[in-house]
Amino acid sequence: MKKSVHILLAIALLMAATFTGCDQNKNGKQPAEPTKVEKEQQPEVTMEALAKVMPKYNSVSNFSEGLAVVCDKETDLYGFIDKMGNEVIPCQYYDVLAFFSEGIAVVSKDGDGWSLIDKKGQEIISFDNQFRPGFQVRFQDGMMAIFNYEDEKEGYIDKAGKVVIPAELDMRMCNGPISVSFNDGLCRRHDYDSQKSSFIDKTGKTVFECEGDAEDFSEGLAAVSKCFSLDNDDFVCRFGFVDKTGFEAIPFIFNHAGRFVDGLCWAETDNQCGFINRDGKFELTGDFKTLILDEDIECGNYPLCPTFSEGLAWVCNKEGKFGYIDKTGKVVIPFRYEACYDDDTELYYQQPCYDFHEGLARICDKTTEKYGYIDREGNEVFPCQFGYAEDINEGVARVELEGQYGFIDAKGNCTLNLTK
């Protein structure tokens, strides 16, 4: 996708997925899984129809709420196609700043102003450059972040385009704004000067503050990293959890901690590693460890904290190999995947396994750094041949092969010509 001359590149870590083939932010949020009703209402993907229209476009996004963004080869403008390959919103936009979420996409016709549109292509409201949305910052919980880059301030609009929180909040940068989206009615913020986190409601009012660097809420709990001083003037950081009142629900005893999914959360202490329950007690432990990846960014390295998806979770054993376990701790897919490793820096830099989505999970070969897909039994549905790949979403996943973009589905079909 085109990158406009404004400072959109500064928040690349917050992107859901771009058209340029960059891998998604691993710490960032995935698009919300469609509900059962939404899935039933969505039409089936016709791979043959998509394959026929692909040559018309330079690039294509994954589907979001039934529509994918495409770029016309002749005009270099963007529009939207449905799952039958029909161009339901013509290619008339200079840029698409955000895919459809909660029925709204963010587009720009000339690269200066921007607009909210509905799924029929009707303009809801337009804006000048007084403030701008973040690149790929989408609507979530009925709100979307807006930014005043000159004053380094941020605020929020609702789906009607009304500014409900003025762009007067401090925008602290660390390869992107610290807070961009609401979850369960709250949005987190972090003050690096005071080393405190706060959560605001949809009026901009601070609900509570806590010491440390907080993550987003998941299942009513938010992980917080707090640093403690040691006797030798050194310090150590530990993770704990707070509830929506700011109460310390789980003590600060963990070296690493993820987020809760299905009542379980990845965590590690000096002596144990595995999944804890909401009481902070380990339920699933084993010969596991938390692998640290090097991001080569100002924000530093980050730990890989797995979550359960479709009943399985990838985990790393103490030998550095990845496999999948079920909720009883049984190894379902053997430990045979390894993260990419840089011999010069002696650091890991690429995750080898990902969550399951609609029956398939991405994998990455450490030697070729190519992506493929496996099913829940560990069978290779697609071998590691794609230079870029996304998770299955709404029946398909966007992939790249030798500069060409297309789709794969869970049945092993692909719109690109693959070598078996």
Rounded to whole angstroms, the Cα distance separating 51 from 144 reads 34
What residue spans define the domains of the chain?
1-178, 183-282, 286-420
Rounded to whole angstroms, the Cα distance separating 413 from 46 reads 10
Structure tokens at 235: 């310090």
**For the chain, what is the mean pLDDT?**
85
Question: Does residue 387 carry a pLDDT above 90?
Answer: yes
CB burial string 324-363: b at 16+ within 10 A, e below? bbeeeeeeebebebbbbeeeeeebbebbbbbbbbbebbbb
Rounded to whole angstroms, the Cα distance separating 22 from 76 reads 20
Question: Does residue 283 carry a pLDDT above 50?
Answer: yes
Radius of gyration for the alpha carbons in the chain, expressed in angstroms and rounded: 22
Structure tokens at 202: 């949809």
CB 86, CB 92: distance < 8 Å: no
Do the domains at 1-178 and 286-420 have one common CATH topology? yes
Structure tokens at 87: 């161009």
Strand ranges in 230-320 using DSSP code E only, listed in sequence order: 235-242, 248-254, 256-257, 265-268, 273-276, 282-285, 288-289, 292-293, 302-303, 313-317
Rounded to whole angstroms, the Cα distance separating 23 from 50 reads 23
CB 273, CB 289: distance < 8 Å: yes
What's the predicted TM-score (pTM) here? 0.83
286-420 carries CATH number 2.30.29: no
Nearest 5°: the CA angle 384, 401, 337 is 15
Options 3.30.360.10, 3.40.50.40, 2.130.10.10, 2.40.128.630; CATH for 1-178 is 2.40.128.630
Pairing assessment for the beta strands 95-101 and 104-108 based on DSSP bridges: antiparallel
Identify the H or E element spanning 190: strand 187-191
pLDDT at res. 135 = 67
Per-residue pLDDT tens digits for 23-72: 333 333 334 445 544 444 455 668 889 999 999 999 999 999 999 999 99
pLDDT at res. 174 = 44
CB 274, CB 267: distance < 8 Å: yes
Question: Does residue 374 carry a pLDDT above 50?
Answer: yes
